[in-house]
Amino acid sequence: MSNNWIDDKKWSDKFLPEIKKILGENLIKEAPLEEDKNHNTDLMVLTLGAIRVGCRVRKYEYFLKYPNDITIRSERTYGKTELAKIISGWGNYFFYGFSNENETNLISWKLLSLNEFRLWFNYEIIKTKKIPGNKQHNKDNSADFIAFDTTQMFNSIILNKFN
């Protein structure tokens, strides 16, 4: 693994406590009255089994330039990319956030349904005969990514957002 990836992961991992709080608020819901009354249930998780959530946090400068975009790695020199994993069916949700200017908290975030994203992605390929989004290189040329404009996606993809 490149040191660049390790440094990037270390930087973004500092936001995990805040992300876990947000995911808890969005993936755990109050149970319906009947559940509470008959089944001793006050809270319910949206689904049983493993819930896989991909997380990405970008720096404040990218929020200023691209507040409606999400970026997903599409090519790199080693290992599977996030896009390949998503298209292969891995992951239930994708958390995408931006840090504040001081890099201490999140200033904006979106929670996306990856099942809905996969439907949209394939629909766009069938409709346009090309992969949607705008392919770009990262600064050190170690990977490519695709920027997707969330305002151009199905409304059902974004489950919740803050900004």
Q: What are 38-61's pLDDT values in tens digits? A: 888 888 876 667 789 999 999 999
Summarize the confidence of residues 59-68 as an average pLDDT: 97
The C-alpha angle 96, 98, 102, rounded to 5 degrees, equals 155
pLDDT at 155 over 70: yes
pLDDT band at 3 (very low <50, low <70, confident <90, very high): low
Nearest to 101 by CA among 70, 61, 161: 61
pLDDT per residue over 92-113, tens digit each? Answer: 999 999 999 999 999 999 999 9
Which residues pair with residue 76 across a beta bridge?
A: 143
CA 78 to chain centre: 21
Q: Which residues contact 159 (CB under 8 A, 6 or more apart)?
A: 26, 93, 111, 112, 113
Q: For residue 75, report the phi and psi dihedrals to the nearest 5 degrees.
A: -150, 140
Q: 52 and 91 in contact (C-beta within 8 Å)?
A: yes
Residue with token string 């201490």 = 104
pLDDT at 129 over 90: yes
Output the DSSP codes for the chain: --HHHHHHHHHHHTTHHHHHHHHHHHHEEEPPHHHHHHH--SEEESSSS---EEEEEE-HHHHHH-TTEEEEEEEESSS--HHHHHHTT--SEEEEEEE-TTSSSEEEEEEEEHHHHHHHHHHHHHHHSS--SEEEE-TTSSEEEEEEEGGGS-GGGEEEEE-
Summarize the confidence of residues 51-75 as an average pLDDT: 95
The CA-atom distances, in angstroms, between 126 and each of 69, 118, 121, 131, 132 are 22, 12, 9, 9, 10
Percent of the chain with pLDDT over 70: 96
